[in-house]
Amino acid sequence: MPKFREGRSGFLKIKMFNGHRVLPFDQTKCRNSEQCTATFVAGDSRVNLFLGLTTFHLLFTREHNRLVTRLQRLNPHWTGDRLFQEARKIVGAQIQAICFREYLPKILGSAFATTVGTYRGYNPTVDSTIANEFTSGAFRFGHGMIQEFYPRIADNNRTMPGFNFVEGTLHSDKLIFNGGTDPILRGFMQTPLKRPQRLTPSITEQMFGSTDLGTINIQRGRDHGLPPYVKFRQLCGLSNPRSFDDLGREILSTNAREALRRTYTAPDKIDFYVGAVLEDPVVRGLIGPTLACVVGPQFARTRDGDRFYFENPGIFTRAQLAEIRRSSLARIICDNGDRISQVPREAFRLGPMVSCAEIPQMDLSKWKE
């Protein structure tokens, strides 16, 4: 913990560099924009993997410190340990609220109600262990949402030079010397998402030089002994296809089915990752029925088998819980960008930008003792 925490205070380490509040890194290795190998230090080494990921690590680190500052004013008698743990608890709850209230409903669409459903409290009989098919296959659908190009937008809504995915990979220096987090966040908020059914060439031909992430996902599934795609279809209540044309209800594209026919000798040979990702999305969702059948129940178990889940009675007071429910990703962007003044009402939706003053915010006075 000393690696990330500012002494015995409640704050996480943040440094000023080139006019930006950034995560700690060895500044002696970053003399200027031409000679900079910035490697940020965070709780997850993948913080440096991609500029978008770096941005969100930094965003929630700033949110933690913002909460510590506010809680310190409300409760000057609290120790550094108490401030650290209370802020950590709130940030964890905010992430859970964003995940289950904002993110998953958009991924799962009409399947959310049946695969995740309403929270009914902690269930000690639920095994929340991450399932092999989830981590080794299903949740890799996100690789298909990686874009080829990411725009950056300045605070006057002027387009700046953007970056392709390869340029944004393992290049944290581009955040330090190209305007910080704000242009990246504005670009995210004004860029339509990419559906996950097809992988972009950046990750099939150029990832880390010449790595094919799709191939890695297929091989990972085989290494982990995942059953074929048709087995999961059956487990999820779908038909057992005898021919590739029998996949037509879930994989509408004749070209996709023809590619499967050329690649596999029979439907029961299709790798789980390949078949599941190719399915057209459920109503109002982004993934197909087989993926939804694996992804949704995993998140339900993760929630229901966690006695520290933020909505479990006793974790927060009723008044505090009401404030957590007012939090949102849009609000966190408003509070922790450098000069973000406008966001969509829902951060995961394209829509008209509104003033941050219109986005609800938590009343932290509910934590005053």
CA angle, 250 as apex, 244 and 254 as ends, to 5°?
Answer: 50
- Contact between 295 and 108 under an 8 Å Cβ cutoff? The reply is yes
Which residues lie closer than 8 Å to 282 by C-beta, 6 or more apart?
108, 109, 110, 111, 288, 289, 292
Instruction: Please indicate if the annotation marks 20 as binding a ligand.
Output: no
Q: Which residues in 90-124 are b (16+ Cβ under 10 Å) and which e?
A: bbbbbbbbbebebbbbebbbebbeebbeeeeebee
Spatial CA neighbour of 5 closest among 29, 24, 19: 24
Rounded-to-10 torsion of CA 305, 309, 313, 314: 110
Rg, C-alpha atoms of the chain: 22
Binding-site residues for heme b sit at 143
